[in-house]
Structure 1
Amino acid sequence: MRAVPAPKVWVTGLTVGAIAAVVALAVQADKGTKPTAAATARPSVSASPRASAQPEPSATAVPDGSGTGRRIVYSLGEKRVWLIDASEAARRTFAVWPGAVDPAPGTYAVSLRRGDPTTGSDGVRIEHIVYFTAVDGVNVAFSNAVDGSSPPPANGTRTGGIRMKAADGSALWTFGETGTKVVVVN
């Protein structure tokens, strides 16, 4: 009679064979071509988000004559806003769509905030309204359209809304507490 190997021997033999097969496949896979990842920009780990908030070199510089300290800077010519913290770092910058009535260059302060959605003088539903001055009876304020759209042309209506994208409106709302300095420059 022939001796039959014990079950442990069979299991051990199969395990050793499987391990050898996996090692052989791994060695062959290592010799093959390898996928490469496209180079992507990694976020910087700096104390200031200036680089990520300001993609264009022409838009990175805070306008000259915009004061010092924590403030909102609005450039009439560039149609752009900067949120500047107390350390003089631009926390965020973004393009805006001005209304038909522009404030005069100068220094103002946030006088009133309204967070609930309402209808603007142009008939658009707006939110995150941050008032800072009035010109000839027209209130001038930052806001964003609830649906995220850009405003249609004013069609002769005297509007003082300075509109922005929804995410920018939310950021300005958070930053622009009552009393926050607003500097308007040409």
Structure 2
Amino acid sequence: MSSTSAGLVTGLTAAALVTVGYLGYQASANIPAELSAAGDRSAAASKAPRDRSNPTALPGNSGTGERVVYSLDDDRVWLVGPDNRVTRTFRVTPSTVDPAPATYHVTSRSGAVTGSDGIPVEHVVRFTSVDGVPIGFSAAKSGLTPPPDPKARTGGIRQSRADGNEMWKFATIGQKVVVIR
């Protein structure tokens, strides 16, 4: 290959890399506000786990000690023992109202009630509220976890009945709940 050909290939490769970088920047800078707003769940279906090689791995930014960890981005919960070992992890169906990332504590529990969406639920573990909407984990008595009506303001983070049973045993009043992105 002549030095002229090598220079041409190098120049074209550099131009291609610059173009791809610029287009990537433009795409990220032009996300509509309704998709980038905190709490929006419209893009949730396409989310990939934060650790593709181990999607159930406890995130590093989730605190220490015994706690419930809830990842808004992963729609996943980890029950973590006092030795910082995960005793259980599971997927959840998020509510339409998200709590802010922070550390909370379980404030109330109910064995069985009707959820704000009208669905009978059990093992309700509440840890905060957002603008008057109580936020907590629950399991539908039917065992189903369909996505909530996007037009309704609900705070029930749904889990399976089996996971709800474990959450109920683990998350007693005062238990730490760490919400992360």
TM exceeding 0.5: yes
The aligned residue for residue 69 of structure 2 is: 73
Q: 1:67, CA displacement in angstroms?
A: 0.5
Moved over 3 A (4+): none
Amino acid of the structure 2 residue aligned with 1:61? A
Q: Hey, what's the Cα distance between the residues in 2 that align with 1:60 and 1:99?
A: 21
Instruction: Give 1:1-186 correspondences, 5 Å limit.
Output: 57-115=53-111, 117-186=112-181
- Look at both structures and tell me which one has the larger radius of gyration over its CA atoms: 1
The DSSP-based 3-state class of the residue aligned with 1:172 is helix
Q: Hey, what's the Cα distance between the residues in 2 that align with 1:165 and 1:59?
A: 19
Does the 8 Å CA contact 2:94/2:147 hold for their aligned counterparts? no
Please report the TM-score for the alignment, with normalisation by the length of structure 2.
0.69
Amino acid of the structure 1 residue aligned with 2:107? S
Q: Hey, what's the Cα distance between the residues in 1 that align with 2:140 and 2:71?
A: 20
Q: Hey, what's the Cα distance between the residues in 2 that align with 1:97 and 1:151?
A: 7
Amino acid of the structure 1 residue aligned with 2:62? S
The DSSP-based 3-state class of the residue aligned with 1:169 is helix
Greater mean deviation of Cα atoms: 129-138 or 58-67 = 58-67
Q: Hey, what's the Cα distance between the residues in 1 that align with 2:176 and 2:53?
A: 25
Does the 8 Å CA contact 2:96/2:150 hold for their aligned counterparts? no
Q: Hey, what's the Cα distance between the residues in 2 that align with 1:143 and 1:71?
A: 17
User: In 2 relative to 1, CA 138–172 (structure 1 residues): closer, same or farther, beyond 3 Å?
Assistant: same
Q: Hey, what's the Cα distance between the residues in 2 that align with 1:141 and 1:60?
A: 21
Aligned-pair Cα RMSD in Å:
1.2
Does the 8 Å CA contact 1:124/1:151 hold for their aligned counterparts? no
1:121-152 deviation per Cα after TM superposition (whole angstroms, max 9, x unaligned): 11111000000000011000100001101134
Q: Hey, what's the Cα distance between the residues in 2 that align with 1:175 and 1:154?
A: 29
Please report the TM-score for the alignment, with normalisation by the length of structure 1.
0.67
Q: 1:61, CA displacement in angstroms?
A: 1.5
Q: 1:153, CA displacement in angstroms?
A: 3.0
Q: 1:64, CA displacement in angstroms?
A: 1.7
The DSSP-based 3-state class of the residue aligned with 2:78 is strand
Q: Hey, what's the Cα distance between the residues in 1 that align with 2:164 and 2:155?
A: 15
